[in-house]
Structure 1
Amino acid sequence: MNVRAPARTWGGRTQEERRTERRARLIAEALAIWLENGWAAVTMRGVCTRAALNDRYFYEHFADRDELLAAVWDEVCLEVFGELSGVVAEHLHLPPLEILHRAIARAVALQLDSPARILFGDHAGSRVLEERRKAMLTEATDLLIATGRPYLRPGFDEADLRMGTLMGIGGFVELLTAWRTGAIESDTDRIVEHVSRTARLLGTQYLAVPD
């Protein structure tokens, strides 16, 4: 019978645990720099200095800066999608447009008080972030359609719904970007109400009429 040797530990942690911790530190410091000065300020040397790690640990996890930026984006995007899915799950007892209103309000709040604001910045000049942004719009469209499907009227046009949903989400992202950069002046409540009103106009084309 083969007996597996116990994992070696350093300071009470296994090699894999320490490796996972180093990766998390690199991502956390890259995010901090991004939030403070924008994605272009994120450099391998700057992140390693803040994380108190040497270069070899950077390349243990990332081939280059683009891979690090993508990892930061993916973690933040996953967190945002999880938050919004949680809002939906918590309010399934409400009518669909009220659920949507609450999800919109949460998305706007995340833009103000969480790392989610990196998703709504200017990513021009970064191919990997532009690709991630496009993927986020597609994934958000898929999620919204899947969430709303039980409430849709019979015989709706799937392609029309997808175009309308993508247009709505894309416009929402652009509005939040403009608001964050000062191109649009408004308070939070007005942003939420405006987006919710627009969502109602789009949504009523596809939602089933309640019995």
Structure 2
Amino acid sequence: MGRWEPNARGRLEQAALELYGEHGFDATTAKQIAERAGLTERTFFRHFADKREVLFPHGNPLLERLVGALADVPPETAPIDAVSAALQGASDLFRERGDLARRRQAVIAAHAELRERELIKLAALAAALAGALRERGVPEPAARLAAEAGMAAFGVAFDRWIVDPEGLDLSRLVRDAFTELKAVASGGGL
């Protein structure tokens, strides 16, 4: 093998998801992942600290997109509408990586420790959204409520998207979930 391998990280991610799906997360080793990708175990550890990091990488592109999309929303927009717009805007990340996102979610759903880590990641996203709302001048507790409710609506939309790969695009499902959230909050959705 050469010293430099094109798209090594992507190949490792792909191989890991395949193996996690075939053998389960616990039964898969870093060495097996590297071999499936046609790389060395050393290369695996240059890209990932451990096999969990394939699913939960450092540096969260979704968080970066959310905060960036929120910054693009006009300042006079109501907090819950700003969060909705940010989540809809960030949904394109899943369109680009839909198959990987679905396989990743299947692995996480099958493993309690990974589900716990996913919840921690989602809480970090809500905290980042709340912080970005506070920077926009939204006071507490409104910033936190909008961010937490927004992440709950996103979770509902994401779950719908995961089970229906041929269905609506995630951005549309996010918009629909926020419409339902507003209806429930106003007493009309009960």
1:106 and 1:163, CA in 2 relative to 1: closer, same or farther beyond 3 A? closer
Q: CA deviation at 1:192?
A: 3.3
1:111 and 1:37, CA in 2 relative to 1: closer, same or farther beyond 3 A? farther
Task: Give me the whole-angstrom Cα distance separating, in 2, the residues matched to 1:161 and 1:201.
Answer: 20
Task: Give me the whole-angstrom Cα distance separating, in 2, the residues matched to 1:193 and 1:173.
Answer: 12
Residue in structure 1 matching 2:162, options 170, 173, 180: 180
Task: Give the TM-score, by structure 2 length.
Answer: 0.64
- 1:5 matched residue in structure 2: none
Q: CA deviation at 1:127?
A: 4.7
- 1:68 matched residue in structure 2: 51
Task: Give me the whole-angstrom Cα distance separating, in 1, the residues matched to 2:128 and 2:65.
Answer: 13
1:94 and 1:36, CA in 2 relative to 1: closer, same or farther beyond 3 A? farther
1:81 and 1:104, CA in 2 relative to 1: closer, same or farther beyond 3 A? same
1:112 and 1:59, CA in 2 relative to 1: closer, same or farther beyond 3 A? closer
Letter paired with 2:114:
L
- 1:117 matched residue in structure 2: 101
Gaps of 5+ in 2: none
1:142 and 1:202, CA in 2 relative to 1: closer, same or farther beyond 3 A? farther
1:59 and 1:151, CA in 2 relative to 1: closer, same or farther beyond 3 A? closer
Instruction: Give per-residue Cα distances to partners, 1:122-142, cap 9 Å, x unaligned.
Output: 313435422321211211121
Structural RMSD (CA): 4.1
- 2:77 matched residue in structure 1: 95
Identical columns (%):
19
Asked whether the equivalents of residues 141 and 165 of structure 1 are also in contact (C-alpha less than 8 Å), the reply is: yes
The alignment covers a number of residue pairs equal to 175
- 1:145 matched residue in structure 2: 130
Gaps of 5+ in 1: 1-10, 12-17, 205-211
Q: CA deviation at 1:194?
A: 1.3
- 1:82 matched residue in structure 2: 64
